[in-house]
Amino acid sequence: MALKKRKRKSAGIDKNFGREHTETKMQLSGNSAQSEFFTGTLMDLRRGDAAILNRIDLPVDDARRLMELGFLPGTRITAGFSAPGGDPQVFQVDGSEIALRRETAKKLEVTIDHVTRNRKPRP
Amino acid sequence: MSGCKDCSNCGSAAVIEFPKSATLPQAVAVIGPPNSGKTTLFNQLTGLRQKVANFPGVTVEQHTGVAELPDGRAVRLIDLPGVYSLVPRSEDEQVSYDVLTGARADTPKPEAILLVLDATNLGRHLMLAAPILALGVPTLVILNMADDLRGRGGKIDVRALSAELGAPVALIAARSGEGIGQVFDFLAGVMPKPAPKSLPVLQDVPKCRAWASQVGNEANYRAPLPPKWTRRLDSVLLHPVLGPVIFVAVVVLVFQTMFTYVNPLMDGVKWLFAVSGNWLATALPAGLIRDLLVNGVWKGVGSVVVFLPQVLLLFLFIGLLEDSGYLARAALIADRTMAKVGLQGKSFIPLLSAYACAVPAILATRTIENKRDRMATILVAPFMTCSARLPVYALIVASFIPNRNLVPGVLSTQTAAMLGLYLLGFLAAVVTARVLKSSILKSGRTPFLLEMPSYRWPTWQSIGLRLLDRSKVFLRRAGTVILLVTVLLWAASNVPFTHGHPPQIVDSVAGTIGRTIEPVIKPLGFNWKIGIGLLTSLAARETIVATLGFIYGKNPESDQLGLQQALQHDLTLGGAFALLVFFAFAMQCISTIAVVRRETGGWKWPILQFTYMSVLAYVGAFIANHLIG
């Protein structure tokens, strides 16, 4: 019971970071000649792709753990190597490399701003 | 002191040079985030003068040691678990917080703190400085891995950082010992209380991170380039095709070494015990005491010490894999497969270690943050074929399975039987994990997070200390539990005296107990002698070999036969298979039960585990006996 209740409560960290985030976005969109932006989750990133974190859709404690590891809203995240099959995937964030499972990665909403060329479509 | 004239404005932030103080701190805490090189520094400072225990009442390991200062005085160091923050959420963080604030009655409040941070990742690691400095305890901020920082083109102004933090800062490389003198100076000197300019709101991670960035900027911190070699190695070791191939090769190499290449070493230990036992037998006068020493103590302890090379070799491998950074990659590669049975990548290494011994495996589950995943790993670890099962398997397989070639030069019937037994234990573990994770240990709410450290050369010091520590644990077990059991068995088989002579084994206390439980084990195809073996093997599996040897040696019917012939005489083929299955499933190990109790903080889990495994063993053995017999 207690677990279920906590699950619904997600960290509202994007509010604190709203302004900074918007600034980042505007700055980036002024420079959009070579790539287009789209929002998605970390799960959509392939190796070499980069994105700006918008929001963590996880319970407060889990979101905090991720933030301590560098997954702060407004931070740039680059996708790195992955286990065979693409899950879990390593992400370069704030000077470290952290592996996340797909189930966690899809809870991290991002604005994708750099996509590597010759990208293969998701199977 | 004198060299500090040029910066009269630096005040308390003078770097490291303090007047010598007569009073030393009683206890100094060492704390830092995971992968900051905290343990390497602790090893450098304390060397062999350290010990590992548990903080009473919790599952957190407590490393304490004594650092000897150059002038001969000594300081007590407490190595706290690696934490990212001081917000008490996990047990590790709670213990660290309690120790630092003096809330634990069993540990004195540290009078000073060594805060170890990774200089190559200072932006993030400096976040931990805020809550630590806020404690108001004299603190030395240690920026570790100075060699890496330089090598990859990063830099930091230590003096400016010290002024910014209001605490002394030392830039060191713990692996090579560079700058370690500064740490000794800090421990020997008068430590100024930190007077930080402004600390952020500790609960707010983004603000803490912003503060860390600002402090870093003030100190002209330039982050180093990404580690080139780590990327290069990862492009091979995490390659979609090569990665898994290398992973399998590493696992095979570990196994091959543990079970083939180690044999000469084990034979050497065996030989040493045999020779010294013979010497003991000739040196002592005949009688009860000689019997006790030679047949009870020496044989019993020897049968366990034989496994020391194997256990040490396994820990050598694990140490090399962990310290080099490959272990995290192995966990990454194994995660998907482990997830299929409800576990995770971090369970892989503990389960691999369980092939040597369940005790260190259960200790190794500490790296699993998710409590339920950790519990499930602890509960299935004793199913893995540990080295204590080997002598039992080897004896029975050699006695009952004729050695024929299945695939000439590659696979014999006996090897196939051994492999089958490994598979049996593995399948039991997988099925149990699935059942547990879909019933009482359901849900994996906590996300799986795995930090990939940069690759580094392991240091001999840290590997050596680890091996020494494990040998101590292993030998203590051989010296206490197994010694006690063999002495008890020896005593029980020598009373009651009739007409001043020790009894026949059938009439002794041990024999009576064996015959009492015979009806229970008869359906499995075991007689009272095997029964005594089963009872003594409750302490540790391998004791059954020594016990059976002891009983058959005492029994006039069989004392002329070797152990193998005696077994063939006593067991049907069905009974032999039943015995193998019983040993594959049963939790016959006092050390494992004790460590599970300690790690799960109560009797509930070990009792559940013991009951479950015993029932499984009994039913499995019953089926084996009736299918084959």
Rounded CA separation B384/B354 (Å): 6
Measure the N-to-C terminal CA separation of chain B; round to a whole number of Å.
86
Q: Which fold has domain A10-114?
A: SH3 type barrels. (2.30.30)
For the CA atoms of chain B, what is the radius of gyration? 29
Checking if the pLDDT of A22 tops 60, the result is no
Structurally, how many domains does chain B consist of?
1
Q: What is the 3-state secondary structure (H, E, C) of B104-170?
A: CCCCCCCCEEEEEEEHHHHHHHHHHHHHHHCCCCCEEEEEECHHHHHHCCCECCHHHHHHHHCCCEE
A68-102 confidence digits (pLDDT tens): 899 999 999 999 999 988 889 999 998 899 999 99
Beta bridge partners, B155, equal: B222
Closest alpha carbon within chain B to A108: B447
Domain ranges of chain A: 10-114
Phi-psi region of B177 (alpha: psi -120 to 50; beta: other; left: phi over 0): left
Whether B58 and B91 have beta carbons less than 8 Å apart is answered as yes
Checking if the pLDDT of A33 tops 60, the result is no
- Residue ranges of alpha helices (H) inside B343-501 are 348-353, 358-364, 371-380, 389-400, 413-437, 460-477, 483-492
pLDDT computed for residue B560 by the predictor: 56
Q: What's the predicted TM-score (pTM) here?
A: 0.79
* B109 is a domain residue: yes
Rounded CA separation B575/B223 (Å): 67
Whether B218 and B160 have beta carbons less than 8 Å apart is answered as yes
**Average pLDDT across chain B, whole number:** 83
* B328 is a domain residue: no
Chain A residues with CB-CB distance to B449 below 8 A? 65-66, 69, 98-100, 104
**Average pLDDT across chain A, whole number:** 74
Helix (H, G, I), strand (E, B) or coil at B27: strand
**Which residues are CB-contacts of B392 (< 8 A; sequence separation ≥ 6)?**
B537, B541, B542, B544, B545, B579, B583
Q: What angle do CA B264, B270, B274 make, to 5 degrees?
A: 140
Q: Do B449 and A58 touch (CB under 8 A)?
A: no
What are φ and ψ of residue A117, in 5° steps?
-70, 165
* B101 is a domain residue: yes
Whether B201 and B131 have beta carbons less than 8 Å apart is answered as no
From chain B residues 191-230, the ones with a CB under 8 A of any chain A CB are 204-206, 209, 223, 226
* B212 is a domain residue: yes
pLDDT computed for residue B5 by the predictor: 40
Sign of dihedral through CA atoms B79, B44, B133, B87?
A: negative
Rounded CA separation B365/B359 (Å): 10
Q: Averaged over A109-121, what is the pLDDT?
A: 74
The ipTM (two decimal places) reads 0.79
* B126 is a domain residue: yes
* Residue range of the domain that includes B166: 2-225
Element (H, E) at B412: strand B411-412
pLDDT computed for residue B378 by the predictor: 94
How close is the nearest chain B Cα to the Cα of A93, in Å?
10
Q: Do B450 and A84 touch (CB under 8 A)?
A: no
**Rounded to the nearest 10 degrees, what angle do helices B242-256 and B228-237 cross at?**
80
The CATH number of whichever domain residue B170 belongs to comes to 3.40.50.300
In this structure, what DSSP letter does residue B11 have? G
Interface test with A, best of B87, B208, B211, B336 (most A CBs within 10 A): B336
Residue A6 — pLDDT band, cuts 50, 70, 90?
very low
Instruction: Identify residues of A whose CB sits under 8 angstroms from chain B CBs.
Output: 3, 7, 13, 16-17, 58-59, 61-62, 64-70, 72-73, 80-85, 87-88, 90, 92, 94-101, 103-104, 107
Kind of pairing between the strands at B112-118 and B27-31: parallel
B303-356 confidence digits (pLDDT tens): 778 778 877 887 888 889 888 999 899 999 999 888 888 888 888 878 887 887
Interface test with B, best of A19, A96, A103 (most B CBs within 10 A): A96
How close is the nearest chain B Cα to the Cα of A35, in Å?
24
Q: Which residues in chain B show pLDDT less than 50?
A: 1-19
Chain B residues with CB-CB distance to A3 below 8 A? 443, 445
Edge-first strand listing for the sheet containing B74-79: B50-54, B61-68, B74-79, B27-31, B112-118, B139-144, B169-171
